[in-house]
């Protein structure tokens, strides 16, 4: 056994290092010194290894390949060797070593040996290999995805890598697109609009951009794409690029468009079916009304000398006309969302009036019961719409009691706490209940749908209950239904209470007085005659013009009427609204009242008061009293 070549004063320091194997070799590669770290890493005691050739630390494959001699030759020639590889411990196990071998020379440059430092890097290599394997697996995964284009962009938007899905969807091979700007995938119109730039700016500022739109393939064809761009940042929050994922959604979009087209076709089909049902119902209802009017008119003419019978016939004509007006108003409200004329209503007297109107329309085998609580709250509502709603419910109840029964109309004060439909606070509950055939659950689920009806074809419009529903909703209330087959049905309208007991209306004085001249502008001769007759009953002197042009000529004569009462829709190129504007400009002090049968004109922004057609003497008197600020008498 050879003696160590050096007596190093730093031996104590070297012996204290345990994480590195530090030892010396003679020029032939035999170990001449051995520290504690070498003993720990390689497993050999000092006396076991000193004098032994260092090649025994190498694997059989490396020894067969001459690796130990190559290490020494490289260090001898270049002064240093550095490398990594598998090494063998005393027990035969392997470890991954980081090795540095330095040539040691004396003052004369003669090689006297080698200094060798070895570090066990097994754990670090395993971690690195695991990372490499994970990255390799991820690359395989990304490259294996063909339904998504997945690629990276640098901070300026140039493509830095390209997966198989990107090549399949967009048509570019990696060599054709890497290094190119991603804006080439956008349509010319999107490029000109700056969409690619905004996409990167959004991702840069918020971390993510997501959108759908048309994109362009290599061959120029377009496809509908779902796009996500995520900003990628390093540990110091510096932007290093963008991850971009694109999916071809063309087939899905086409399927969606086909579905929407099918739904539209179904809607049109249902609409035509509903219109057919509506037409049949209207024809039935109006034919009944016209039959009553024609019959009463004929009998009235035959009994001119019998005042009582003539009066009954005239009342029948009036009632039929009122029903026709209600039906028309119902249609207009449904089609045009006619605005409501909100006023405080005293329900006690209101229900008395509705009952008087209702009783003649019911069969004798139907008993009507009215129930009201004491001190019933007022409600803010449109009196006409509320009356129509109650009549619709009552007529439906009548039709459900073919063999007679009981119709019960009740009104109670209720303070609600979230039910029904989230309503809270003071409300009045108006209930219309019958003892008829009742409804199934399926029917109740659809009963408020427009045009839905359980009646036979031609016996109903299907608008009655939808009008009730819309009316209640428009006032901020609700309507509910309870029913079972054979046990009748109960509809409840919940209306917000106003608690305003102040009565409103038009006061009537006794006697008819000459109240001044009113210019009636109406192209329909019969309607103009009727309007003039009503004005005469109210004590005014009517003067009729059948066009706006004629009315302007009369006004230019200098004799001003007390008020202009004009229809809105008239032939001749000048409408009633245009007439009113001209009159206001020339005669600002002259009051104007318009009238129309079209609901959209009632809620217009022209600023003139409008009386809805058809109107009766009371409603005309109320409108004139409001404008002229005077009491009017209806004889």
Report residue 576 as tokens.
């009633």
Please give the pLDDT value at position 511.
35
For residue 206, the number of C-alpha atoms closer than 13 Å in the C-beta half-sphere is: 11
Confidence of residue 513 (pLDDT cuts 50, 70, 90): very low
CA torsion sign for 457, 461, 463, 465 is: negative
Confidence check: pLDDT of 603 > 70: no
Q: Long-range contact list for 394-399, CB < 8 A, 24+ apart?
A: 394/358, 394/361, 394/362, 394/432, 395/361, 395/464, 396/464, 396/465, 397/432, 397/433, 397/434, 397/436, 397/489, 398/361, 398/362, 398/363, 398/366, 398/434, 399/436, 399/455
Confidence of residue 452 (pLDDT cuts 50, 70, 90): low
In this prediction, residues 405-418 reach a mean pLDDT of 90
In this prediction, residues 532-544 reach a mean pLDDT of 87
**Proportion of the chain above pLDDT 90, given as a percent:** 39
In this prediction, residues 299-307 reach a mean pLDDT of 81
**How many of the other CB atoms lie within 10 Å of CB of 290?**
12
Please give the pLDDT value at position 283.
63
Please give the pLDDT value at position 198.
94
Please give the pLDDT value at position 302.
80
Within its chain, how far is the Cα of 411 from the centroid? 38
CA torsion sign for 543, 544, 548, 550 is: negative
Rounded CA gap, 343 and 352, in Å?
Answer: 18
Q: Which residues does 30 contact at the CB level (< 8 Å), separation at least 6?
A: 2, 51, 52, 53, 54
More confident residue, 322 or 171: 171
Confidence of residue 536 (pLDDT cuts 50, 70, 90): confident
Confidence check: pLDDT of 154 > 90: yes
Please give the pLDDT value at position 329.
63
| 65-74, 108-117, 169-178, 380-389: range with lowest mean pLDDT | 380-389
Confidence check: pLDDT of 142 > 60: yes
Confidence check: pLDDT of 501 > 80: no
Query: 149: cis peptide before it, omega within 30°?
Result: no
Residue 187, beta-bridge partner list: none
Measured in degrees and rounded to the nearest 5, phi and psi for residue 105 equal: -125, 155
Confidence check: pLDDT of 208 > 50: yes
Please give the pLDDT value at position 240.
93
Confidence check: pLDDT of 510 > 60: no
**Proportion of the chain above pLDDT 70, given as a percent:** 81
The string of pLDDT tens digits covering residues 244-277 is 999 999 988 888 888 888 777 765 665 555 555 5
């Amino acid at each position: 056994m050879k003696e160590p070549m050096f007596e190093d004063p730093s031996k104590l320091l070297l012996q204290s290092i345990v994480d590195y194997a530090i030892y010396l070799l003679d020029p032939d590669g035999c170990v001449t010194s051995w520290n504690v770290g070498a003993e720990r890493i390689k497993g050999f005691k000092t006396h076991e290894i000193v004098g032994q050739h260092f090649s025994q630390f190498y694997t059989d494959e490396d020894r067969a390949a001459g690796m130990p001699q190559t290490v020494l030759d490289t260090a001898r020639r270049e002064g240093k060797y550095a490398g990594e590889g598998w090494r063998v411990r005393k027990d035969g196990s392997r470890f991954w070593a980081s090795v540095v071998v330095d040539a040691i020379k004396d003052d004369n440059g003669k090689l006297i040996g080698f200094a060798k430092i070895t570090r066990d890097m097994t754990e670090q290599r395993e971690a690195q290999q695991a990372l490499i394997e994970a990255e390799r697996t991820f690359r395989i995964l990304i490259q294996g995805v063909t339904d998504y284009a997945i690629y990276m962009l640098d901070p300026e938007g140039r493509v830095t890598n390209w997966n198989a899905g990107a090549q399949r969807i967009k048509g570019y091979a990696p060599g054709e697109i890497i290094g190119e700007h991603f804006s080439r995938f956008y349509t010319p119109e999107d490029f000109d609009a700056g969409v690619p730039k905004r996409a990167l700016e959004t991702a840069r500022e918020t971390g993510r951009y997501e959108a759908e739109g048309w994109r362009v393939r290599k061959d120029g064809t377009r496809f509908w794409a779902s796009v996500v761009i995520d900003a990628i940042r390093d540990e110091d929050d510096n932007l290093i690029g963008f991850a971009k994922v694109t999916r071809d959604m063309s087939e899905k979009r086409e399927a969606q468009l086909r579905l929407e087209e099918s739904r539209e076709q179904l809607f049109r089909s249902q609409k035509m079916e509903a219109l057919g049902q509506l037409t049949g119902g209207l024809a039935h209802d109006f034919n009944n009304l016209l039959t009553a009017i024609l019959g009463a008119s004929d009998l009235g003419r035959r009994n001119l000398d019998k005042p009582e019978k003539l009066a009954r016939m005239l009342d029948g004509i009036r009632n039929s006309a009122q029903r026709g007006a209600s039906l028309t108003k119902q249609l207009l409200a449904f089609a045009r969302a006619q605005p409501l004329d909100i006023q405080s209503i005293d329900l006690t007297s209101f229900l008395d009036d509705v009952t008087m109107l209702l009783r003649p329309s019911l069969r004798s085998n139907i008993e009507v019961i009215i129930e009201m609580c004491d001190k019933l709250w007022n409600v803010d509502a449109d009196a006409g719409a509320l009356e129509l709603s109650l009549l619709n419910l009552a007529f439906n109840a009548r039709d459900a009691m073919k063999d007679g029964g009981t119709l019960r109309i009740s009104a109670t004060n209720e303070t609600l706490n979230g039910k029904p439909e989230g309503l809270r606070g003071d409300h009045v509950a108006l209930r219309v209940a019958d003892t008829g055939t009742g409804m199934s659950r399926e029917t109740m689920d659809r009963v408020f749908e427009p045009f839905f009806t359980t009646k036979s074809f031609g016996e109903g419009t299907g608008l009655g209950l939808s009008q009730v529903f819309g009316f209640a909703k428009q006032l901020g209330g609700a309507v509910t239904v309870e029913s079972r087959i054979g046990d009748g049905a109960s509809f409840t309208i919940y209306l917000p209470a106003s608690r305003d007991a102040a009565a409103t209306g038009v006061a009537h004085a006794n006697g008819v007085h000459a109240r001044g001249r009113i210019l009636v502008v109406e192209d329909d001769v019969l309607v103009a005659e009727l309007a003039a007759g009503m004005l005469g009953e109210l004590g005014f002197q009517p003067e009729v013009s059948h066009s706006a042009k004629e009315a302007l000529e009369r006004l230019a004569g200098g004799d001003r009427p007390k008020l202009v009462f004009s229809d809105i829709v008239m032939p001749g190129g000048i409408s009633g609204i245009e007439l009113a504007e001209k009159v206001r400009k020339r005669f600002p002090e002259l009051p104007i009242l318009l009238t129309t049968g079209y609901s959209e004109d009632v809620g217009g922004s022209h600023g003139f008061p409008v009386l809805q057609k058809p109107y009766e003497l009371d409603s005309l008197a109320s409108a004139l009293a409001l404008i002229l600020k005077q009491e009017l008498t209806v004889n």
